[in-house]
């Protein structure tokens, strides 16, 4: 199974580019962020022609997330509870052996901006929601099949079901994840408060799949369009696939797909590269 995350920085502007990537990389499940597209404007037919079903939590002009998949899934959660004012930023879809969540985490803008404190509060709510959503359900039968499972007919015992949380986190988890190293400590995306929020997600039983595979590699997933940042290597690793232990044991490789941060013919890329992971079949 190949799972992926990608901040496309505007679906309308990137649609042909995204379709080209889907055809080339053939992922099974993809979490998309920053659609900038309302639900009723989402091009379901385009993706259906490529063999993908889509679940969408969109928004006009800003934000928006979606999950594309070879196999249809069931939506468990649209939006982060308590954070509707911050826009369409979370979507969870259940598949037979995997609960897959894509998030577009707030940027924060600057340390002085009001959105910075709101960003920290958003992450606090994300941790609370994740902890509550993945506790053992009271309705779970001893055989591990949840009677409330919405039609999937698969085990929902947290120990039996894989869980992925992916997206644009807008945090560099360590100095290794920024071209500036520790000289950038204390700046936006690189503050202790932000990193503590990211670490809290790991404490809830998740692993950063890229770091699981490449614990000491310096690599980036986002480069500013300006100043030749991509070619100068001035990037940040802020796009991440997190997985539970069950996913981690299946991990074969993780790729930051730098080729798709480059122009493809006349097609302009997002400022983010897609990130994908290959998992061994169950």
- pLDDT tens for each residue of 234-255: 999 999 999 999 999 999 999 9
Give pLDDT, residue 141.
Answer: 30
Q: At what angle do helices 192-203 and 114-133 cross, to 10 degrees?
A: 10
Residues 62-102 have pLDDT tens digits of 999 999 999 999 999 999 999 999 999 999 999 999 999 99
Q: Which of 135, 109, 84, 80 is nearest to 194 (CA)?
A: 109
**The whole model's pTM is what?**
0.93
Residues 1-49 have pLDDT tens digits of 999 999 999 999 999 999 999 999 999 999 999 999 999 999 999 999 9
Q: Which helix (H) or strand (E) holds 190?
A: none
2-279 sits in which CATH class? alpha beta
**CA–CA dist 88, 78 (Å, integer):** 8
Domain residues of the chain, as ranges? 2-279
DSSP string covering 13-47, please? HHHHHHHHHHHHH--SEEEEE-----GGG--HHHH
CB 281 within 8 A of CB 162: no
**CA–CA dist 147, 118 (Å, integer):** 37
Spatial neighbors of 200 by CB under 8 A, at least 6 apart, are: 123, 127
Residue 100 to residues 4, 93, 109, 144, 230: CA-CA distances in angstroms?
Answer: 10, 5, 27, 19, 30
Residues 168-194 have pLDDT tens digits of 999 999 999 999 999 999 999 999 999
CB 5 within 8 A of CB 210: no
């Amino acid at each position: 199974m190949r799972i992926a995350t990608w901040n496309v920085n505007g679906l309308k502007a990137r649609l042909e580019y995204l379709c080209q990537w889907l055809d080339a990389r053939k992922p099974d499940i993809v979490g998309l962020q920053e659609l900038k597209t309302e639900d009723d404007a989402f091009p379901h037919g385009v993706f259906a022609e490529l063999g993908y079903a889509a679940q969408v939590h969109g928004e006009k002009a800003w934000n928006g997330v979606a999950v594309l998949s070879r196999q249809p899934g069931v939506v468990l959660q649209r939006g982060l509870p308590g954070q509707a004012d911050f826009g369409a930023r979370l979507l969870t879809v259940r598949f037979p052996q995997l609960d897959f969540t894509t998030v577009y985490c707030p940027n924060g803008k600057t340390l002085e901006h009001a959105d910075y404190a709101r960003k920290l509060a958003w992450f606090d709510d994300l941790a609370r929601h994740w902890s509550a959503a993945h506790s053992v359900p009271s309705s779970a039968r001893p055989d591990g099949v949840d009677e409330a499972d919405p039609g999937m007919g698969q085990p929902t015992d947290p120990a039996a079901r894989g869980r992925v949380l992916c997206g644009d986190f807008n945090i560099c988890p360590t100095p290794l994840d920024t071209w500036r190293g520790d000289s950038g400590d204390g700046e936006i995306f690189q503050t202790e408060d932000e990193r503590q929020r990211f670490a809290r997600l790991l404490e809830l039983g998740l692993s950063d799949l890229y770091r699981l595979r490449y614990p000491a590699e310096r690599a980036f997933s986002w480069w500013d369009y300006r100043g030749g940042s991509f070619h100068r290597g001035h990037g940040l690793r802020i796009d991440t696939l997190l997985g539970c232990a069950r996913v981690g044991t299946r991990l074969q490789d993780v790729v930051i797909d730098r080729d798709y941060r480059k122009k493809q013919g006349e097609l302009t890329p997002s400022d983010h590269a897609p990130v994908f992971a290959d998992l061994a079949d169950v």
